[in-house]
Amino acid sequence: MRKTIATVSVSGTLAEKLEAIAAAGFDGVELFENDLLACPLPPEEIRARAADLGLTIDLYQPFRDFEAVPDDLLARNLRRAEHKFRLMERLGTDLLLVCSNVSPEAIGDDERAAAQLRLLAERAAGHGVRIAYEALAWGRHVDEYLHAWRLVRLADHPGLGLCLDSFHILSRGSDPIGIEAVPGEKIFFLQLADAPLLAMDVLQWSRHYRCFPGQGTFDVAGLVRHALNAGYAGPLSLEVFNDHFRQADTGRTARDGMRSLLALEGELAGTTHPCVPTGFAFAELADDGGAFGEVLGALGFTRAGAHPRKPVELWTQGGARLLLNATGAEPSLAAIGLDGPDPAGAVKHAEALLSPVLPRERAPEEARLDAVAAPDGTQIFFCDDSWLSDFPPPPAGRSGGAVTGIDHVALTQPWHYFDEAELFYRTVLGLRPQGSLELPDPYGLLRSKAMSDPGGAVRMVVNIAQVGSGDVPWQHVALACDDVLALARRLRAEHPGLLLPIPANYYDDLEARHDLGPELRELRELGVLYDRDARGGEFLHLYTVTVGRVFFELVQRTGGYDGYGAGNAPIRLAAQHSGHRSGGH
Amino acid sequence: MRKTIATVSVSGTLAEKLEAIAAAGFDGVELFENDLLACPLPPEEIRARAADLGLTIDLYQPFRDFEAVPDDLLARNLRRAEHKFRLMERLGTDLLLVCSNVSPEAIGDDERAAAQLRLLAERAAGHGVRIAYEALAWGRHVDEYLHAWRLVRLADHPGLGLCLDSFHILSRGSDPIGIEAVPGEKIFFLQLADAPLLAMDVLQWSRHYRCFPGQGTFDVAGLVRHALNAGYAGPLSLEVFNDHFRQADTGRTARDGMRSLLALEGELAGTTHPCVPTGFAFAELADDGGAFGEVLGALGFTRAGAHPRKPVELWTQGGARLLLNATGAEPSLAAIGLDGPDPAGAVKHAEALLSPVLPRERAPEEARLDAVAAPDGTQIFFCDDSWLSDFPPPPAGRSGGAVTGIDHVALTQPWHYFDEAELFYRTVLGLRPQGSLELPDPYGLLRSKAMSDPGGAVRMVVNIAQVGSGDVPWQHVALACDDVLALARRLRAEHPGLLLPIPANYYDDLEARHDLGPELRELRELGVLYDRDARGGEFLHLYTVTVGRVFFELVQRTGGYDGYGAGNAPIRLAAQHSGHRSGGH
């Protein structure tokens, strides 16, 4: 299907927007009036600029507060419309979006509204222009798409049809199945936006929090399916008003919008995600040579081997594999390897969804490993077991280590790109969002979103920190353990400085909230945090101090616990800041 | 009255919070449980730390989901409470805030709720603790303060009283006059927060958007007056949850809270603002020597004289006076002088409201000029006419200049401190907010708030820019004109590069919207922007290009127009970015 986007959805000047939209592969644009008004180019040049870039101008928008007005106002509104028709001729575009009237002067009279819309369509026809009428969710008298359709049918003019907008329909909780009552050729245009579920005034919600399909909670694909069933044959067009998108990089947002539409097409075609990962193959830590070795050794990891050609070491324990890459950089989490049934297919899928495939040099005898860049720059590798053959066969490892594998990995996103991250993990990796949280930090707020595959084998947590003027760029690798208390006991005895100290006040409160008996004393002594879910599932966890940007969490899940101990995160954050500020690790 | 603040209202660790709260002059704190839990100090040390700082711990909070529960849950809740009573003994505090139950397990039965609250108060009394019961605006069964009072009266225990919170009462639209039905000694605590009027879920509103009294739209002083009439004799206590405050500087927020309470006390005492300014005495521009001279000359200003001792020149036109101070800094707006009946009184008032009075060196023969720092660092001088005597008497000026005075001054605030700015201009200068706007910028959003004295003689616009990664630190001085078209005509002819170019598309739209006739052609030719209000008042304005951080606006108001042409701001912003990026001024 043709793909278009409203110019208001991305940042920049109109010239910058058109360039980025074309580069992202869109076929055309909805030209947003404010972008035109602020543009120094005359309409004819905008038309030529778009054509040079291979873009059509599919719609001009919005024209407001036209219909259902007293007669004297009608004359003024028609005069206003004539100006826009002439402008559209200069732009070479033939479809005008008319939003339902929000003015207090509008009259709640369907006959009047329909007659005036018919008159508008007649005048428009003289300029080769057609009218797409849209019910705004906050329209004065017309706020529902089936009401708009009633008026369009009543007006009965070939140049008058509907514009449907998924936000206006789904934000009101209207059932989109009614779209199938509209003949496809009367749906002149289809605008798509998703949104998070927010309990606020719908106008504010629409103006600031819309996002691309797949980034929110609406079933946008379901709505599109109804439009296609009705016979709609026009473009899929993104129209998003979003405070973060306004500030973000133009090209990046445009690409992300295209990724959203490509994923939507896949969903419409009924294709399930072709290669959801089945587990963590490894996490790769970059360091300046040796920063992690001591911590990993203390945690019970064994240096299993070194890469013959690169300064990379493989450390293992149970099913957890960590690569230490001596890049000379600040210690950080550089890459994640994901196991899956079809690594080559996964890369192809990621590439089809516009993820940058990273160039990688390898010797001819080395295993082929392809990676794409996640929104925060972390490299995501798609693996089968062959990469292990790059390393010499490991010596007989120390047995009886507590760590059994990687439980989850948490990354901090640049704050403009939280929505992009959700779309990436959802569409490129096939993970599903588990929920979104806000966590108080001593110096701000952390917004956190957990994503996982259906089986919980691959769990990723994406955070954005809105913390003071500085950054909290912490990343962490959570290691699953089968006896976290035993591990904590050993670590407290052998490596007393390694673990993050937890305040005694936390345990007083834990005692007040839960009747844990003697177990509590052990948690307190070992500095282990505790959470319990509504069904009795339990979560025991603790943290190492931070090395560079990275810390490790040691976790143990029992009884089907599926969360991340979010209630304890503020305790952890405070302890980390305190260690940081007092010049600790 | 005693003044206290909840520790959750400011950022930082508990130790940092206590220090900043004491430094700001508060008498005590409400200790927020999460701050305690994350604190590495034991309760006894927190108690000692507070005492050393001269702070009492007036309240421990919150205790949740206690009352109106099934019997088995009651036992668990009492156990939980006993832990908190023992903790409070260690902290040396005797008042516990109990919020109305929000849990789905709560039963809508007033008798049960009251009996359980009575039991809680009895147990508390054994530890010397009293209970302040508060209706949360989103409580499951109790969400209204008079309902809470009904339960407290029914429970009838001397150790059980009410906590009243202005947010929970005013956000629901409850009439606070009912407070006078409560005996003063049963109001155990009074929490104060203001908030902007937002149409959203009250829980989200409360958790993220509360602000200090005087920063929002609630009549907090009116509510306090009812509590005082009832006989309340406890502290005035601030309790604010605000995303910006969480990220802002601890000490600065604490001082701002104290300023809010001091201003509230003034309001309660019925004192009107003692020295509202009556006009702009001057605006002072810092530059690197000569940057502004050319622009001012072009605009028709005359160099009226130079300061005998400092590198400061006075430029005048009509009633507009600009000081050029060759500091060597980037061209910027450094100071504003305000005329008023009592400059010394104004400084005293500002100092009483904790505004930093700036040190100033002057020669003995020079006029005394005192200044305070506005939140963005701009110096605000309080003046009578005597400062003019520092300059030699001006030569006979060029007559017939179009500029008659300073219309308004616009400053850009650091974004964490938008609320602080409103409180400053409202309480220190006595200006009133005229309204708040969001303006699209090509690379973000601008939030803008206009403040003025009742007569419109002193108008200040405070902006915060949320624009990309970079800053838009523009400031501007708007000059009132009596014939802005004539001025524009002369400037276009004589100084073609001086004015910001306005796109032709803007005028096409203006023509569509208004039937301006031949006047439109003139606006278009001269690049003058136009606005009209609902009563026919008109606003003509245009802009110079930017010099350093500063540009000038030339404005003409007719027919009682009281706005700032906000609808045209996006056009201006786009033109400014374009000039900026293409390497223009």
**pLDDT confidence of residue A469:** 54
Lowest mean pLDDT, pick from A360-374, B239-253, B452-466 = A360-374
Q: What is the mean pLDDT of chain B?
A: 92
Supply the mean pLDDT for chain A.
Answer: 92
Output the pLDDT for position B145: 98
Q: What angle do CA A25, A30, A33 make, to 5 degrees?
A: 135
Mean pLDDT over B409-424 rounds to: 86
Task: Give me the residue from B84, B466, B571 closest to A247, CB to CB.
Answer: B466
Strands lying side by side in the sheet with B312-317: B302-306, B312-317, B320-326, B279-287, B332-339, B379-383, B370-373
Contacts of A442 in chain B (CB under 8 A): 11-13, 38
Residue B377 contacts by C-beta under 8 Å, 6 or more apart in sequence? none
Å from A27 to nearest chain B CA?
A: 23
User: How far A447 CA lies from chain B's nearest CA (Å)?
Assistant: 12
**Residue B89 in contact with partner chain A when CB distance is under 8 A:** no
The answer, for B342 touching chain A at a CB cutoff of 8 Å, is: no
How far apart are alpha carbons A412 and A397 in whole angstroms? 33
Q: How many CB atoms lie within 10 A of CB A202?
A: 18
Whether B582 shows a pLDDT value over 60: the answer reads no
Q: Which of A166-180, A224-238, A240-254, B377-391 has the weakest average pLDDT? A: B377-391
Chain A closest-CA separation from residue B483 CA (Å): 26
pLDDT tens digits for A532-552?
Answer: 999 999 999 999 999 999 999
Looking at the predicted structure, is the pLDDT value of residue B524 above 60? yes
Helix-, strand-, coil-residue percentages of chain B, each rounded to 5: 35, 25, 35
> Which has the higher per-residue pLDDT, A443 or B459?
B459
Give CA–CA dist A322/A302, Å, rounded: 10
Q: Do A570 and B443 touch (CB under 8 A)?
A: no
Residue A470: pLDDT over 70: no
CA nearest to A503 within chain B: B40
Nearest to B505 among A39, A466, A574 (CB): A39
Average pLDDT over residues B39-52: 98
Are B39 and A574 an interchain contact pair (Cβ–Cβ within 8 Å)?
A: yes
Nearest chain A Cα distance for residue B304, angstroms = 39
3-state secondary structure of B451: strand
Judge whether A100 and A136 are in contact, CB under 8 Å.
yes
Instruction: Categorize the per-residue pLDDT at A584 as very low, low, confident or very high, splitting at 50, 70 and 90.
Output: very low
- Model confidence at B247, in pLDDT bands (50, 70, 90)? confident
What does the pLDDT read at residue B124? 98
CATH 3.10.180.10 domain span(s) along chain B: 279-390, 409-581
Q: With the CA atoms of B463, B467, B471 and B473 taken in that order, what torsion angle do they form, in degrees rounded to the nearest 10?
A: -20
**Predicted local distance difference test score (pLDDT) of residue A274:** 83
Least CB-CB distance to B38: which of A40, A444, A574?
A: A574
CB contact under 8 A, B509 and A33: yes
Q: Are A448 and A463 in contact (CB under 8 A)?
A: yes
Instruction: Quickly tell me which residue has 């509504």 as its tokens.
Output: A534
Q: Give the residue numbers of the binding site of B for Mg(2+).
A: 408, 476, 553
Of A83-92, B32-41, B192-201, the poorest mean pLDDT is in B192-201
Q: Which of A453-462, B365-374, B473-482, B526-535 has the lowest mean pLDDT?
A: B365-374
Among candidates B200, B443, B573 on the partner chain, residue whose Cβ is nearest the Cβ of A11:
B443
State whether A80 and B38 contact (CB < 8 Å).
no
> Is A498 a residue whose pLDDT tops 80?
yes
Closest residue to A199, CB basis, from B87, B201, B443: B201
Q: Which amino acid is at B345?
A: G
A-chain CB neighbours of B440 within 8 Å are: 34, 246
Q: Where in chain B is the domain with CATH 3.20.20.150?
A: 3-268
Burial per residue of B414-450, b for 16 or more beta-carbon CB atoms within 10 angstroms, e otherwise = bbbbbbbbbbbbbbbbbbeebeebebbbbbbbbbbbb
Q: How far is it, in rounded angstroms, from Cα B207 to Cα B156?
A: 32
Place of tokens 């959801």: A276
Q: Which residues of A does the annotation place in the binding site for a divalent metal cation?
A: 134, 165, 191, 239
In the predicted structure, residue B439 carries a pLDDT above the cut 90: no
Q: Which residues pair with A279 in a beta bridge?
A: A339
Nearest CA-CA distance, residue B548 and chain A, Å? 22
A336 membership: H or E segment, kind and range: strand A332-339
Supply the pLDDT for residue A471: 59
- B387-396 tens-digit pLDDT: 888 887 766 5
Tell me the mean pLDDT in the region B276-301: 92
Least CB-CB distance to B39: which of A39, A247, A503? A503
Which residues in chain B are closer than 8 Å to A248, comparing Cβ atoms?
468
Q: Which two tokens stand for residue A548?
A: 């560079």
The CATH number of domain B409-581, selected from 3.40.50.2000, 1.50.10.10, 1.20.120.10, 3.10.180.10: 3.10.180.10
pLDDT (tens digit per residue) in B306-353: 998 889 999 999 999 999 999 888 899 999 999 998 999 999 999 999
Mutate to test the interface with B, among A508, A510, A520 (most CBs of B within 10 A): A508
User: Is the Cβ pair B508, A577 closer than 8 Å?
Assistant: no
Nearest to A200 among B80, B201, B571 (CB): B201
**Chain A residues whose beta carbon lies within 8 Å of the beta carbon of residue B199:** 200-201, 204
Report cis status (omega within 30 of 0) of the bond before A364: no
Two structure tokens written together for A321: 């594999």
Which pLDDT score, from 0 to 100, does residue B106 have?
97
Residue in chain A nearest B568 by alpha carbon? A38
| pLDDT over threshold 90, residue A415 | no
**Cβ separation of A38 and B506 shorter than 8 Å?**
yes
Please report which confidence band the pLDDT of residue B585 belongs to, taking 50, 70 and 90 as the band edges: very low
What is the pLDDT, as a whole number, of residue A582? 44
CA A41 to chain B, closest CA, distance in angstroms equals 8
Asked if B467 is an interface residue toward chain A (Cβ–Cβ < 8 A), one would say yes
**Cα–Cα distance between B175 and B172 in angstroms, integer?**
9
Residue B258 backbone dihedrals phi, psi, to 5 degrees: -65, -40
pLDDT grade for B398, boundaries at 50, 70 and 90: low
Which pLDDT value is given to residue B584?
35
Query: Tell me, what's the ipTM?
Result: 0.91
Alpha-helix residue ranges (DSSP H) falling in A399-515: 418-423, 484-494, 504-513
Architecture of the domain defined by B279-390: Roll (3.10)
Comparing CB atoms, the residue among B76, B444, B506 nearest residue A246 is: B444
Does position B146 have pLDDT exceeding 70, yes or no? yes
DSSP B452-494: E-TTSSSEEEEEEEEESSS----EEEEEEES-HHHHHHHHHHH
pLDDT at residue B361, rounded to an integer: 67
Per-residue pLDDT reduced to its tens digit, A321-350 = 999 999 888 899 999 999 999 999 999 999
Give the chain B residue nearest A467 (alpha carbons).
B247
Half-sphere exposure of B23 (CA within 13 A, CB side): 13
pLDDT tens digits, B54-68: 999 999 999 999 999
Nearest CA in chain B to A576: B38
Residues A124 and A84: their CA atoms lie apart, in Å, by 10
Q: What is the dihedral of CA A234, A240, A246, A249, to 10 degrees?
A: -50
Band of the pLDDT at A560, cuts 50, 70, 90?
A: very high
Q: Is B534 on the interface with A (CB under 8 A)?
A: no
- Domain B3-268, what fold? TIM Barrel (3.20.20)
**SS3 sequence, B170-222?**
HCCCCCHHHHHHCCHHHEEEEEECECCCCCECHHHHHHHHCECCCCCCCCHHH
C-alpha A260/C-alpha A57 separation (Å) is 21
Task: Give the CATH fold of the A3-191+218-239+249-268 domain.
Answer: TIM Barrel (3.20.20)
How much is the average pLDDT of B261-282?
92
Residues of A with CB below 8 A from B13's CB?
442, 574, 577-578
- d(CA A65, nearest CA chain B) in Å: 12
Q: Which residues contact B170 (CB under 8 A, 6 or more apart)?
A: B176, B195, B218, B219, B220, B223
Contact B508 A87 (CB under 8 A): yes
pLDDT at A567 over 80: yes
Judged by a CB distance cut-off of 8 A, whether residue A571 touches chain B is yes
Residue (of A62, A58, A51) closest to A22 by Cα position = A51
- Contact check, Cβ <8 Å, B83/A512: yes
- For A348-382, the pLDDT digits (tens) are 999 999 998 988 766 777 777 789 999 888 999 99
Do residues B190 and B164 make contact, with C-beta atoms less than 8 angstroms apart? yes
Q: Which of B:164-183 have CB within 8 Å of A?
A: none
Question: A403-581 in CATH: which number?
Answer: 3.10.180.10
Place of tokens 């989109």: A176
Q: Would you call A84 and B246 a contact, using CB atoms and an 8 Å cutoff? A: no
Domain with CATH 3.20.20.150 in chain A: 3-191+218-239+249-268
Shortest distance between the Cα of A270 and any Cα of chain B, in A, equals 37
Of A431-445, B295-309, B358-372, give the lowest mean pLDDT range. B358-372
**B residues 504-523 closer than 8 Å to A (CB):** 504-506, 508-509, 511-513, 515
Which residue of chain B has the CA closest to A35? B442
Helix (H, G, I), strand (E, B) or coil at B133: strand
Contact at 8 Å (CB) between A416 and A211?
no
Type and span of the H or E element at B406: strand B403-412
- Nearest residue of B to residue A569, measured between CA atoms: B38
Measure the CA–CA gap between A20 and A14, rounded to whole angstroms: 10
* pLDDT value for B530: 98
Tokens 């798509």 -> residue: A192
Interface test with A, best of B87, B246, B464, B513 (most A CBs within 10 A): B246
The answer to whether the beta carbons of residues B210 and B246 sit under 8 Å apart is no
Instruction: Classify residue A364 by burial, with Cβ atoms within 10 Å: 0-12, 13-18, 19+.
Output: exposed
Residue B283 touches partner A, C-beta closer than 8 Å: no
The pLDDT, as a whole number, for residue B400 is 65
Q: Which ranges in chain A are annotated with CATH 3.10.180.10?
A: 279-390, 403-581
Residues of A in contact with B243 (CB under 8 A): 444-445, 466
Rg of chain A (C-alpha set): 28
> What residue in B sits closest to A574 (Cα-Cα)?
B38
The interface residues of chain A toward chain B in range 57-86, judged by CB-CB distance below 8 A, are 76, 79-80, 83-84
Q: What pLDDT is attached to residue A365?
A: 73
